Amino acid sequence: MTDGIILIDKPAEMSSFGVVARVRRVLTTQQQKKVKVGHTGTLDPFATGLMILVIGKECKNAGHYTKLDKVYEATIRLGQTSSTGDPEGEITDVADLHPTHEDVERAMGAFTGDIKQRPPIFSAIKINGQRAYKLARNGEEVEIPERDVTVHSLELVDYTYPEVKIRTHVSSGTYIRSLAADIGTMLGTGAYCTQLRRTSISKWKTEDAQTLADFGVTN
């Protein structure tokens, strides 16, 4: 392939840029010339799931794919917060409250529909030309303004304290780590995201994607 899209099921513990680099290497070897490869929206290193990669001339249409709705499945841990909103951050105990099933559903309902959300400081958002996560890692104060996002649906899949499992259909630009933290704040327990998987982007689903091994990536 020299132009078009490739669907990849990203593994955990790998950056989105790492996925792009590996796919580019395989395609460049196959074509025996440098092939242009881009992503259409990053996934956090701890997260897994669907990435749409654009190849060759299709790179000019990357913005179209970036703006599409997405579906995620996530596990949220109550009672603690994380400095990054995920397992890679500094974990802090907050409260030993045990919300009821109804409490959790009520809190989730407050974050359904058109809402304002503040993205995590450890994110790829650019502030004055620099990635927010780089500024945060350097100990600089990072202030990211709230943005308007839409949570089309937010389903409680399972709840056994301290773990809350959810499935959510959201607009582009929605951060599930922020959603988890906001739910934890409303419950008074604190919360962070321990697992995150993107299962679809518009009509494309993980079932249609290749793993990196399927694609010929060996390391």
* Ranges of each domain in the chain: 4-67+204-215, 70-201
Q: Which phi and psi (to 5°) does residue 8 adopt?
A: -125, 135
- Name the residues annotated as catalytic: 44
Mean pLDDT in residue range 156-173: 97
Q: Does domain 4-67+204-215 have CATH number 1.10.3210.10?
A: no
Task: Judge if 4-67+204-215 and 70-201 fold alike in CATH terms.
Answer: yes
Q: pTM of the predicted model, to two decimals?
A: 0.91
Tell me if 65 sits within 8 A of 54, measured CB to CB: yes
What is residue 146's predicted lDDT score, i.e. its pLDDT?
87
> Are 109 and 103 contacting, i.e. CB atoms less than 8 angstroms apart?
no
Q: 219: pLDDT confidence band, cut at 50, 70 and 90? A: confident
CATH of domain 70-201: 3.30.2350.10
116-158 pLDDT, tens digit each: 998 876 666 776 677 766 766 767 777 777 899 999 999 999 9
Quote the mean pLDDT of the chain: 92
Residue 26's alpha-carbon distances to 23, 52, 110, in angstroms, are: 5, 16, 45
